[in-house]
Structure 1
Amino acid sequence: MDVSDIVDRTCPTVDPETRVGTLRSTFEAEHDGVIVTENGDPSGVVTPREFVRSHVDDDATARTVSRPVPTVDRTTDVREVARLLVENRTPIVPVTRDSQIRGSVTRDGLLSAVVDDLDVLAVDDLHTPEVVAIGEDATLGEALNRLREEGVSRLPVVEDDGRLAGIVTTTDVMGFVVRDAHAPSAGSRDSGDQRLLDLPVSDAMSRPAATTTPDSSVADAVAEMLEQGYDGLVVSPADDDLPVGVLTKTDVLRALTYTETDRLDVQITNVDLLQSTTRERVAERIESIAGKYREMTVEHVHLRLQRHEEERRGRPLVRCSARMWTDKEQAAGTGEAYGGDDAVSLALDTLERNVIEMKGRRTDGEVHEAPTVDYRDR
């Protein structure tokens, strides 16, 4: 199936010199992203994520905040587009013909086209079991930092006993800051920003948080996300409000890329942070790891690389999160090092220890991610 029937021709496009203040109002209209074009040729996209990473002045231009993404054409396969959306962490990719913009394919448009085919999957098959959460008494600034550090778009907000109180998302934070930062007030803009960041996260969070259960169908969960405009749902048992995971649109897109070929399916987000490590080398290492658990079949592997600002001898500090989906359980591992190759190596080391622990367990249970290995002097 190609994407010819799901090309969206209504996606907003802007000139590279468009002010950021204008872009903010575009996102308030609930667009997933904006395509930046020069003479009809797409040069990048701007999404709400760019505004959460750091303070961006309204007088900055689209050129300074946009980031490049690959383009596709009308004949590109749906699985390939899903892979591009996941690996480039973007909700939108431009569709071109003869290097000219002809529309876009959005994450929501693709999911809408396949939602009816997802009823064979349960939420428990795809959701991310590790919950990155924040306490109800945290400040908006702490929530913003957590979103940046973890590279996620939503944080369940929990009470002191760990039970779900609400959820705060990238969109919530951006909307709150945009709305209040322009409200009439005394003092400088910087002091106003600081006052906003000191407010409790409960001022910006949504409550109650939208949830789904582990045994719900993925089709029902995606249908609710699309209908309500959610990017994800907190997963909790039907009889309990203790969060056990999160299911996002990205989790579902990732499942669409799974193949039935003999080649191990490996996805790498932010692959440009690698120097010599390739998908093939990662696949070989994963197959070696899986061999330690002889009766386990690996279905899919995803590595997510995240660059930090810190550097040493010209090499950036990189965090790698590795996750492996199998016919038994999910396994995960993380690692941090200077340079993407070393970060991947450390993450796979922790993943291997996790698999060995899985092998040693006689009964099914929750797979806990091994501690982050942080060898910054490596």
Structure 2
Amino acid sequence: MTTSLPEGSPGQRPDQPASRRFLEFFSGIGLVHAALAPLGWSCAFANDNDAKKAVTYQKNFPGVTLDQRDIREVPVEEIPTADLATASFPCIDLSQAGGRRGIHAEHSGIVWSFLEHIDSLDREGRAPKFLLLENVPGLLTLHGGSSIDVLLHEVARLGYAFDLVQVDARHFIPQARNRVFIIAVKNAELATGAEMPDTHIRRYKVREVFERNRHLPWVFFDFPSLPARSVSLDDVLLDIPKGDPRWWSAERMKYFWDHLEKDHHTRLTELLHSRTVTQFTAMRRGRRRGLREQIFNLRNDGLASCLRTPKGGSSIQFVVRVGGGEVEVRRITAIESGRLQGVGLSTHNPGYVFPESEQDGLFGFGDAVCVPAVQWVFEHSIQSYVDNSRLQTPLQLTMDLGVAV
């Protein structure tokens, strides 16, 4: 048995066609938009209260209504009808940087305002058919999993069946950026009686969430294997010539060597006199073996570490170039950060307009999404459903969460 989407959105108004229109909450610098637009989706409404990010968003998507109020101040009457609502909501309270305060804390807790809007739209008969939420892996484990559990219960209460997957950006772009996606369909009766598929994107912590919440309306999309990455770190990094002031001075290089992890110090020394020039990324950490001290760690796997906003010394990423008798170090640039999120490359969103300020760019890309990762998740879930009117084949429908029809 297969499913088909009803014509139009729930409560669709004649003057507001909702087909393949989306609402982009927590829109930032528009990278969710950049992921969905090539798939034929148009943004009917965006919302973010960061004024600096809004400038970049409007430069890239000048035709979109961008509401810059706090999401709690946006009246539901001003939100258009659309098929999809997205929410890459703040992650700070779900990570160590924010003290892992949880899903009800000041920053990450704003997701409840997003869901209140979905509830209000539902009461008006205008609920989006689909929801796409994205956040950090800490969402799965924080406070014994209670953060993800309560979030999924609320999505289910609103009448959505959902899938849960974990995808790392490293399969698309040379950045280690693991993220969790909740993909929801407005029809809890689509819930399947099947077991969660044992795939690379639904293992370990995701499966634990499923085991705790079997009674909720799960529905599993038919994802293919993750792709092999075709973009290298050298493709991303700028060719900044020797002598450019962005490379560190001798004094700062002494600081780097003095604070380099011992094992990494050995590795870098071995490469120093190689004829081949090699580039790495490095992170400055704030702790080592329980002591509060600065230390640099190199990555040796051809990847950048997960980008973060440069709010502290341990959130800044560096580029290390070694070979020919020299080691050079500099801070990663906004352009490189954008490329690590999948924009500004010849093969990935080459026309994206970057923030004018270097610092604004580092902040904007530091808490954005990886475009090709979001696009892959969306293309093989919601997009496939819309295009083919089907989910995983064969689809076992249930009308009462366990009774097959």
With the shorter chain as reference, the TM-score category is: under 0.3
Q: Which structure exhibits the higher relative contact order, with contacts defined as CA atoms closer than 8 Å and separated by 6 or more residues?
A: 2
TM-score normalised per structure 1:
0.26
Larger radius of gyration: 2
> Per residue, is there more strand in 1 or in 2?
1
